[in-house]
Structure 1
Amino acid sequence: MIHIIQRWVDRYFADEEAVLVAVMLIAGLAVVLSMGVVLAPMIAALIIAFLMQGLVQRLESWGCGHLLAVSIAFLVLAGSIVVALIYILPAIWRQLLNLFAEAPRMLMEGQSVLLLLPEKYPGLITEAQVKGLIGGLRADLGHVGQSVVSFSLAQLPILVAVLIYVVLVPILVFFFLKDGKEMIAWLTSVLPRERPVMRKIWREMNEQIANYVRGKVVEIFIVAVVTSIAFSFLGLNYALLLGVAVGMSVLIPYIGAAVVTLPVAIIAFFQWGWSTDLMYVMIAYGVIQAIDGNILVPLLFSEAVKMHPVVIVLAVLVFGGLWGFWGVFFAIPLATLCKAIMNAWPTKHKQETAETSPV
């Protein structure tokens, strides 16, 4: 057994850089898992600065100086935060509270509809099963409603922390954008000069992950705005709330669109019943999904991440379970990072092949 372990270590950790990369990965993972809450503003600022780096580079290509480009990008970020805090978030919160207030009525109407099923299909479902289902939904809804009320009344310290983040994160983003090159140069100065593995991993991250993350943010924004406008035009209640939900659903490939279809259909059904208005809403929703999948995604993601659907779903489950929303958002980039590390990892077999291959 010891001999097998020694052969495995000799195969994958014969190169000094492989050991260094492994130590850095373990140290980074330990820091995120142990101090993720404390470093949350710093991590959020790094992510936002990473997303806005493309805007800074575009402004510099148009002739703006670095400081001017960073200032414009910072003003765009600050303006977006102000608009979100003053207009978008309060509107979403009001619609969410109205939805919880209207939920008991929806449950009563849903119970009357479901109670027709035992009459039509007595061999498949009973009246007791329907009442048990409605009772469970009513209890779950009560718990959610209590959580919403307790959040709005008793968790003011969290709101204060959010306000601190609103001030602190933009400031950190500004300095990351302004002095990012100097920071990277300082970090790389403590690393070995010859680091082909790290350069290969960084190159793949910079080419694929940066394009993916920025494209995904643009996709979420476009889908959310178009869906909200379409639902408002059709007169659907909670159009903004549903539009944001549809926009966020693109984070989870293959699953998000299927899951968010249910609340859209339920709210439209309880508003209009079986009518042409319900049909129009579902047709509009289907058209938006088709445009997103067949036109928007190919335009935004010219450098598509080639990955099997099973791997994508597994990455969403694993990283989402570890880090919640950010884990879901970065599931595919993190899976791509793991793939890049595996491809670039220097093994003894690769080194021998490189030495014996003709130049």
Structure 2
Amino acid sequence: MFKLFSDWYTRKFSDPHAVTLVVILVCIALFIALFSNLLMPVFVAIALAFLLDLPVNKLTQSSMSRSSATVIVVATFLGFSLLAVLGLMPIIWKQSSNLLQEVPHMISQGQGYLLTLPEKYPDFIHVSQIESFIVMVNDNLLEWGQVALKASLNSISDIVALMVYLILVPLMVFFFLKDKTELMNSIAQFLPKERRMAIKVSQEMNQQILNYIRGKVIEIIIVGASTTIAFIFLDLQYALLLGVLVGLSVLVPYVGATVVTIPVLLVALFQFGLSSEFGYVMLAYGLIQAIDGNVIVPLLFSEAVNLHPVVIIIAVIFFGGLWGFWGIFFAIPLATLVKAVINAWPSIPAADVISEGQK
């Protein structure tokens, strides 16, 4: 048994570059696990810097200094972000408040409909079953309401921290973009010289993460905007709020689209009932989801995502459990990182190991 483990260790860790890669990955993972809550603004700034690095590079190629290009790109990004927040947030907030006020009416209307089912289908549904189901739903709603109230009270203390982050994050993004080369060289001074594999994997992952973040932002905008326009055209209530939720649902592959279907279906059902308008809303929503899965995603992520759906789901569950929202957001790049490390890992044939042992 010991010889088997020794042979495996010799095959996989005989190259010092491989050992360096393992040490770097373990140190990064431990650093994120220990300090993720404290350094969340830094991670957000790094993600935004990845997103804005491409336009900065394009401007620098046109004989513009990197400082000037960074100022232009960051100012443009902040301007569009402020316009989006100031223009959309009041409407989203108003629609969210109206929807919350409508929830009790929706619940009572749904309970009334459920109580009519035993009369329509007496052989299949009994009154006791419906009453027990209603009691269970009310208990769950009460529990969720308490959780939401507690979360809202706890979030009040984070408002000051949020205001600080709104100042620090743009500053960090600016310096990450402006002094990218200097920062990378400073980090490289602390790394071992035997890092050929680490450089290879980092170069591959740099492009993968860049493509993924850029593609995901474009996908959110396309899906969210098209869904909002379709819902407004079909005169669905809370169209902007539901469109934003559908756009953000693409952050969680497969699971997000399934979860966000529930509010879309309920709002359409309570507004239109089982009518043709309800069918049109669900048909439009289904078409957008189909186009997203079969056209938009293959076009945007053909190079960045080459993983089996089961691997993607496992990555979402695993990294989401470790690092929450950002673990879910970067689940696919992290899974691609694991795949890149496995593919790049050196391996000495077993025959060579045996011959070295005989010597």
Q: Which has the higher contact order (CA 8 A, sep 6+)?
A: 2
2:65 corresponds to which residue? 65
Instruction: Answer whether contact 1:208 1:304 (CA < 8 A) is retained.
Output: yes
Q: Does residue 104 in structure 1 map to residue 110 in structure 2?
A: no
Q: Give the distance between the partners of 2:110 and 2:254, measured in 1 at CA.
A: 28
1:88 corresponds to which residue? 88
Q: Give the distance between the partners of 1:217 and 1:352, measured in 2 at CA.
A: 48
Output the amino acid matched with 2:57.
Answer: Q
Alignment of 1:72-151 (within 5 A): 72-122=72-122, 124-151=124-151
What is the deviation of 1:120?
Answer: 4.2
What is the deviation of 1:47?
Answer: 1.2
Comparing 183-192 with 121-130, greater Cα deviation is found at 121-130
Output the amino acid matched with 2:316.
Answer: V
In structure 1, list runs of 5 or more residues that go unmatched: 354-359
Output the amino acid matched with 1:164.
Answer: V
Output the amino acid matched with 1:138.
Answer: N
Change over 3 Å in CA distance of 1:320–1:114 after alignment to 2: same
Write out per-residue CA displacement over residues 206-229 of structure 1, whole angstroms, 9 at most, x where no aligned residue: 333321221011101121122112
What is the deviation of 1:154?
Answer: 5.6
* Structure 1 residue matching 2:252: 3-state secondary structure: coil
Change over 3 Å in CA distance of 1:345–1:87 after alignment to 2: same
How many residue pairs are counted as aligned between the two chains? Answer: 353
2:343 corresponds to which residue? 343
What is the deviation of 1:151?
Answer: 4.8
Q: Give the distance between the partners of 1:76 and 1:227, measured in 2 at CA.
A: 26
Instruction: Answer whether contact 1:251 1:328 (CA < 8 A) is retained.
Output: yes
Change over 3 Å in CA distance of 1:179–1:239 after alignment to 2: same
In structure 2, list runs of 5 or more residues that go unmatched: 354-359
Instruction: Answer whether contact 1:77 1:170 (CA < 8 A) is retained.
Output: no
Q: Does residue 191 in structure 1 map to residue 191 in structure 2?
A: yes
What is the deviation of 1:235?
Answer: 1.8
Instruction: Answer whether contact 2:209 2:304 (CA < 8 A) is retained.
Output: no
Alignment of 1:1-16 (within 5 A): 1-16=1-16
Change over 3 Å in CA distance of 1:138–1:97 after alignment to 2: farther
Alignment of 1:273-284 (within 5 A): 273-284=273-284
1:159 corresponds to which residue? 159
1:52 corresponds to which residue? 52
Q: Give the distance between the partners of 1:220 and 1:226, measured in 2 at CA.
A: 10
TM-score by length of 2: 0.89
What is the deviation of 1:248?
Answer: 1.6
Output the amino acid matched with 1:108.
Answer: S
Instruction: Answer whether contact 1:100 1:145 (CA < 8 A) is retained.
Output: no
- Computed over aligned residues only, the root mean square deviation of the Cα atoms, in angstroms, reads 2.4
What is the deviation of 1:319?
Answer: 1.0
Instruction: Answer whether contact 2:20 2:198 (CA < 8 A) is retained.
Output: no
1:285 corresponds to which residue? 285
Instruction: Answer whether contact 2:7 2:350 (CA < 8 A) is retained.
Output: no
Q: Give the distance between the partners of 1:36 and 1:150, measured in 2 at CA.
A: 23
Comparing 229-238 with 168-177, greater Cα deviation is found at 229-238
What is the deviation of 1:116?
Answer: 3.4
What is the deviation of 1:193?
Answer: 4.1
2:216 corresponds to which residue? 216
Instruction: Answer whether contact 1:197 1:346 (CA < 8 A) is retained.
Output: no
1:266 corresponds to which residue? 266
Change over 3 Å in CA distance of 1:110–1:188 after alignment to 2: same
What is the deviation of 1:182?
Answer: 1.1
Output the amino acid matched with 2:38.
Answer: V
Identity of aligned residues (%): 48
Comparing 31-40 with 283-292, greater Cα deviation is found at 283-292
Change over 3 Å in CA distance of 1:62–1:298 after alignment to 2: farther
Q: Give the distance between the partners of 1:230 and 1:127, measured in 2 at CA.
A: 39
